């Protein structure tokens, strides 16, 4: 292999990568804000006794779980403007596509945590005279929300990584800037390695934190 | 039915039918009348409806037929489809379960004061004071700020009893409260229940521990096949049963234990 590594070619041009990282973090944080809040509401709909609420919610979840994220993003960017005649900023479109995807996955995390609260705890709540709303607020949700935090964080960091997919529809995120820089400098190995290290530097601490949280839960229980 | 005698009964169960789905019938016309101050131990083969009976009295189950009356007030009834339960009456009954059911996200004190504060609107300080007194009585004062996961099974079960007592119940239900405990932890929980019995707390309990049943009961009911087979003082039902099915059960259980 007669390829000489020249990291300097990339490190001298880090500006676009930092800009890309800023967009990537913006996509991630905004998508998580949507996923954490709307995911909770969606979980409540999925658990509803009323089929009229439950079935559409389940359909939404299954649609996003059973199709590739890249198809969802491409569909969102090309079909939504044509179908509904709305033209949004690409970053906003990216946030919505990633946010809706995360909403479906987080809804599943919330649903599983809510259903994992032991039935006997509700019986004990009835025996203590708590009303249905008091049982939900004081017994079910505090336990369920705690249990769902590690999964929400794992999903959230998954969205951070998945956000790289929006590069293919022209959002100037970290991956997009990396691709551009690699083409301009003819240094794909250096560029994409550094881009990968960016993703690693943020994902790794979070995944370690999740692991620590889960071990701690295991000890406490 | 002796409707006129209602006033003297603390708990009155009339013609109680309870099943799960169309094919499983657990209680098939159960009648029990419990007088104030009585301590009723319900024994019988598993699947005979003992725990279901307690759960019905607590208002945790839908029933298909019958009524349950507490201190002269009917509080559980059904039109055959829906079960109506009067929460104001139900609040006078406390229950402790086999698996502790302490809320793991709350400290021991918070477990104790949750219902007094939310249900009765008691001030936090007043509830804490009462909680401290009950914990002291049960030898658990230093555990007030601990979490359930830091307690032994026996301690958890004593806290569960304390939590129920915080609401000042007029009847306590104990559903196999020592069955999940390691053998060396059973005595501390039984001691607390005996302490309550000595203070005159009316109680109905399901237990497989025949020695404890003999110690605590003022009356023993043998339940099998969803009906009351035999009902009498512990010396009779446990010592010299009249019914063949009771005798057979007692002999089998004591034989296994002996």
Per-residue pLDDT reduced to its tens digit, A174-202: 999 999 999 988 889 989 999 999 999 99
Contacts of B180 (CB under 8 A, 6+ apart): B98, B99, B100, B153
pLDDT at residue B7 is higher than 70: no
The residues with which B205 forms a beta bridge, in sequence order, are B41, B174
| Predicted pLDDT of residue A21 | 94
Predicted confidence band of residue A11 (pLDDT cuts 50, 70, 90): confident
Structure tokens at A74: 């491409």
Structure tokens at B127: 């509830």
Contacts with B105 from chain A: Cβ below 8 Å = 142-143, 146
Predicted confidence band of residue B252 (pLDDT cuts 50, 70, 90): confident
Shortest distance, CA A137 to any CA of chain B (angstroms): 11
Reduce the DSSP state of residue A171 to 3 states and report it. coil
Which chain A residues have any C-beta within 8 angstroms of a chain B C-beta? 118, 120-121, 123-124, 126-131, 134, 138-139, 142-143, 146, 220-221
| Predicted pLDDT of residue A112 | 96
| ipTM rounded to 2 decimals | 0.88
- Nearest residue in chain B measured CA to CA from A146: B105
CB contact under 8 A, B101 and A142: no
CB contact under 8 A, A126 and B91: no
| Predicted pLDDT of residue A7 | 84
Which tens digit of pLDDT belongs to each residue from B53-64? 999 999 999 899
pLDDT at residue A50 is higher than 60: yes
The residues with which B228 forms a beta bridge, in sequence order, are B223
CB contact under 8 A, A220 and B149: yes
Mean pLDDT of A66-71: 93
Q: What is the pTM of this model?
A: 0.83
Contacts of A174 (CB under 8 A, 6+ apart): A17, A20, A21, A23, A24, A164, A195, A198, A199
| Predicted pLDDT of residue A12 | 84
| Predicted pLDDT of residue A2 | 73
| Predicted pLDDT of residue B108 | 96
Which tens digit of pLDDT belongs to each residue from A154-175? 999 999 999 999 998 889 999 9
Higher-pLDDT residue of A9 and B11 is: B11
Q: Does B149 touch chain A (CB under 8 A)?
A: yes
Do residues B202 and B217 make contact, with C-beta atoms less than 8 angstroms apart?
no
What mean pLDDT value characterizes chain B?
89
Contacts with B106 from chain A: Cβ below 8 Å = 142
Do residues B225 and B249 make contact, with C-beta atoms less than 8 angstroms apart?
no
| Predicted pLDDT of residue B251 | 86
Sheet holding B65-70, edge to edge: B24-34, B11-20, B65-70, B73-78, B83-85
- Rounded to whole angstroms, the Cα distance separating A104 from A113 reads 15
| Predicted pLDDT of residue A1 | 64
Shortest distance, CA A125 to any CA of chain B (angstroms): 8
pLDDT at residue B1 is higher than 50: no
CB contact under 8 A, B90 and A129: yes
Least confidently predicted of A37-41, B2-6, B12-16, B127-131: B2-6
| Predicted pLDDT of residue B43 | 92
Predicted confidence band of residue B204 (pLDDT cuts 50, 70, 90): very high
Higher-pLDDT residue of B110 and B8 is: B110
Structure tokens at B81: 């489809």
CA distances from A94 to A77, A90, A166, B171 (A): 8, 6, 6, 61
Q: What percent of chain B shows pLDDT beyond 70?
A: 96
CA distances from A164 to A18, A97, A168, A172 (A): 14, 12, 8, 10
Q: What is the DSSP string of B22-58?
A: TTEEEEEEEEEEE-TT-EEEEE--TTSSHHHHHHHHH
- Rounded to whole angstroms, the Cα distance separating B156 from B152 reads 6
Shortest distance, CA B206 to any CA of chain A (angstroms): 17
Least confidently predicted of A34-38, B72-76, B202-206: B72-76
Which tens digit of pLDDT belongs to each residue from B132-171? 999 999 999 999 999 999 999 999 999 999 999 999 999 9
- The radius of gyration of chain A's CA atoms, rounded to the nearest angstrom, is 21
Q: What is the DSSP string of A115-130?
A: HHS-HHHHHHHHHTT-
Q: What percent of chain A shows pLDDT beyond 70?
A: 98
- Determine the straight-line distance between the first and last CA of chain B, rounded to whole angstroms: 41
- Which domains are seen in chain A, by residue range? 26-172 (1.10.3720.10)
Which tens digit of pLDDT belongs to each residue from B207-247? 988 888 888 999 999 999 889 999 999 989 988 888 999 99
- Rounded to whole angstroms, the Cα distance separating A9 from A192 reads 13
Structure tokens at B64: 């298909």
CB contact under 8 A, B119 and A118: no
Mutation target for A interface from B58, B98, B102, B118: give the one with most A CBs within 10 A.
Answer: B118
Mutation target for A interface from B87, B101, B163: give the one with most A CBs within 10 A.
Answer: B101
**Strand-strand pairing, B11-20 and B24-34:** antiparallel
Angle between helices A141-162 and A188-220 (to 10 degrees): 170
Higher-pLDDT residue of B79 and B114 is: B114
| Predicted pLDDT of residue A24 | 95
């Amino acid at each position: 292999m007669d390829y000489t590594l020249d990291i300097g070619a990339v490190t001298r041009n880090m500006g676009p990568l930092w800009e890309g990282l800023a967009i990537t973090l913006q996509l991630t944080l905004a998508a998580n804000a949507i996923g954490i809040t709307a995911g909770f509401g969606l979980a409540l709909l999925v658990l509803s006794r009323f089929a009229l609420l439950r079935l559409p919610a389940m359909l939404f979840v299954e649609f996003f779980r059973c199709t590739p994220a890249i198809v969802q993003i491409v569909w969102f960017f090309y079909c939504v403007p044509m179908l509904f005649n709305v033209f949004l900023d690409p970053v906003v479109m990216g946030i919505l596509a990633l946010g809706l995807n995360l909403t479906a996955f987080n809804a599943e995390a919330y649903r599983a945590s809510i259903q994992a609260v032991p039935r006997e705890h509700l019986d004990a709540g009835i025996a203590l005279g708590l009303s249905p709303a008091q049982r939900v607020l004081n017994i079910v949700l505090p336990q369920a929300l705690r249990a769902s935090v590690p999964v929400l964080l794992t999903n959230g960091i998954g969205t951070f990584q998945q956000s790289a997919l929006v590069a293919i529809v022209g959002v100037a995120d970290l991956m997009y800037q990396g691709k551009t820089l690699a083409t301009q400098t003819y240094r794909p190995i250096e560029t994409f390695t550094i881009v990968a290290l960016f993703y690693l530097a943020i994902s790794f601490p979070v995944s370690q934190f999740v692991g620590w949280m889960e071990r701690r839960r295991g000890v406490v229980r | 039915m002796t409707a006129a005698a209602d006033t003297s009964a603390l708990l009155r169960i009339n013609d109680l039918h309870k099943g799960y789905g169309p094919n499983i019938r657990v209680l098939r016309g159960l009648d029990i009348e419990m007088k104030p101050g009585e301590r009723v131990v319900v024994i019988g083969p598993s699947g005979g409806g003992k725990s279901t009976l307690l759960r019905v009295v607590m208002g945790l189950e839908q029933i298909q037929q019958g009524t349950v009356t507490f201190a002269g007030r009917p509080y559980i009834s059904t039109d055959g489809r829906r079960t109506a339960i009067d929460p104001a009456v139900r609040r006078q009954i406390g229950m402790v379960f086999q698996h502790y059911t302490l809320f793991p996200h709350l400290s021991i004190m918070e477990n104790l004061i949750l219902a007094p504060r939310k249900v009765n609107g008691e001030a936090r300080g007043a509830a804490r004071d009462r909680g401290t007194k009950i914990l002291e009585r049960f030898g658990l004062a230093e555990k007030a700020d601990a979490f359930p996961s830091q307690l032994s099974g026996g301690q958890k079960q004593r806290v569960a009893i304390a939590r129920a007592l915080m609401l000042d119940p007029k009847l306590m239900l104990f559903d196999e409260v020592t069955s999940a405990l390691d053998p060396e932890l059973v005595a501390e929980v039984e001691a607390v229940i005996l302490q309550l019995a000595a203070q005159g707390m009316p109680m109905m309990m399901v237990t497989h521990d025949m020695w404890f049943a003999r110690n605590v009961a003022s009356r023993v009911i043998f339940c099998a096949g969803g009906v009351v087979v035999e009902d009498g003082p512990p010396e009779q039902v446990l010592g010299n049963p009249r019914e063949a099915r009771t005798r057979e059960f007692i002999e089998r259980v004591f034989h296994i234990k002996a």
